[in-house]
Amino acid sequence: MSVALIWIVIGIFLILSELLLTSVIAVFLGIGAIVTGLLLHWDLIAESSTQFAVFGVVSLAFLILARGQFKRWFMGYSTDEDDAKPNFQRDIGARVKVIRDFNHGAGRVMLNGVQWDAFSEDELKAGETAWVLANEGIQLTVGREKPEK
């Protein structure tokens, strides 16, 4: 196997590994390796020091110039989220369904398809609707009345 083919195979492997890593870095290393392999195949470079220099420069240039755009493509966006609020504050005021009766202030609710441990001063029964008053990380505080914004 030629050295050019080894560079190209490494590049393809790095690009495919990005599917598992999701850091949007390996793809640029893969592009650098493929470019190095192609230049080597076309006899535009020969020495190993030149190969590593081309690999480093191309990878770094693509990383600096294109990483932000690639992340936007892969991560997507949501227009219904309020970016001004931290994630834990976005749920305040959301409607939840009680899925386990509240005993001594503790129960369980469903928010956005996920079950949460919750606390409430109200006696809530399974099947009732409640509103998120606060989010303490992995536990919600809920009540019968919707909080005012």
pLDDT in tens, 66-101: 887 777 766 655 555 555 555 556 778 889 999 999
- Give per-residue pLDDT as tens, 23-42: 778 889 999 999 999 999 99
The answer for residues whose C-beta is within 8 angstroms of residue 62's C-beta and 6 or more apart is: 28, 31, 32
Q: What is the CA radius of gyration of the chain?
A: 26
Structural domains present in the chain: 3-75 (no CATH), 87-143 (2.40.50.140)
Question: What one-character DSSP code corresponds to residue 126?
Answer: T
**In this predicted structure, what is the pLDDT of residue 131?**
92
CA–CA dist 79, 95 (Å, integer): 20
The Cα 110–Cα 45 span in angstroms is 61
- The C-alpha atoms of residue 29 and residue 62 are separated, in whole angstroms, by 9
**More confident: 69 or 13:** 13
In this predicted model, what pLDDT tens digit does every residue of 32-69 receive, in sequence order? 999 999 999 999 999 999 999 999 999 999 989 988 77
pLDDT score recorded for residue 87: 58
